[in-house]
Structure 1
């Protein structure tokens, strides 16, 4: 089970961007991180400390040997939780539900940004996808689907051709599975 501190730390909008950047780019110097994300160095440093306290980022070795710079990296990839994981603590359950809401807003915001783009990206437009379905399942079967999709993404990532690095752009993949009514 995820710790509520990790969940709430990552779902602050600035910290989410920092965490996602570090997850994609690996070890990054704090001033470069601030420049790339358009934030002040002091603000980024504050948010990095909050993420470190939550256990989702860590300081990385200084690649330059300068020792005046601060390097960081994600210490884990992804979070998975349900507000129901925190049913024994109403306060934590409320925080987990708010993080779920923030997570969905992030997902939808990224999808909206993709659809609002003004620059044509023909290759990427053909490659982008949307998958949805309705089906019958038990809670155990839905958990099994989640595990299978997580494993499929990990297998896909592990099989990427390292020779194609220059062709790559960051992508965002998300899926939600939940009970519904037609």
Structure 2
């Protein structure tokens, strides 16, 4: 999987990004482009049940945020074709966010929780054993913070090692949704540092 290096964003840029990713239609556009590879505003309007003027507007906004790009060799005149760009973003510490940025990030998080809950249910429903496409794993371990951060770095390296961009995916590859989160167990305090309620 080819991932563009993270760019330093200002608080205003992050706020705009979170609002875009939290916009239901823009999310559907990104999901469609991710599955199909490319589309223009007319195709998206037909597939998503919107007007081409509406999809064209949202495509331009996504392009401004470098989430998609125009395909010059397919575009001509008023017809513009688009594809998604590789994207990676790590949100900063919420304590450092401006109020509007935090509110936008919180709204996006709520939307993600709903999406991820649906994926979790699907994974359980579609599980066909350890050799199937749907896999579910829950685990726990004792780690230092440094070990946890090393684990996350290695997890990202594994994604880059085993994942492929859509265009370079081998035969038989399918898009796979992966989710990862880690949170220390609630033990009140550990070595003088609070770890949860």
Give the TM-score taking structure 1 as reference length.
0.74
Aligned to 2:141: 135
Unaligned runs of 5+ residues in structure 1 are none
Change in 2 beyond 3 A, CA 1:72/1:62 = same
Aligned to 2:106: 97
Number of residues paired by the alignment? 175
Aligned to 1:145: 151
Q: Determine which structure has the larger helix proportion and give its number.
A: 1
Indicate the structure whose relative CO is greater, using CA pairs within 8 Å and at least 6 residues apart: 2
CA RMSD, Structure 1 to Structure 2 (Å): 3.3
The answer to whether residue 117 in structure 2 is matched with residue 108 in structure 1 is yes
Query: C-alpha displacement at 1:114, in angstroms?
Result: 5.8
Unaligned runs of 5+ residues in structure 2 are 1-7, 188-197
The answer to whether residue 188 in structure 2 is matched with residue 179 in structure 1 is no
Give the TM-score taking structure 2 as reference length.
0.70
**Which deviations, in whole Å up to 9, do the C-alpha atoms of 1:128-180 show, x marking residues without a partner?**
1011212223443333222221221111014998551xx34432111212233
Contact 2:68 2:84 in 1 (8 A): yes
Change in 2 beyond 3 A, CA 1:133/1:116 = closer
Higher deviation after alignment, 12-21 or 27-36: 27-36
Alignment equivalent of 1:47, drawn from 19, 39, 58: 58
The answer to whether residue 63 in structure 2 is matched with residue 58 in structure 1 is no
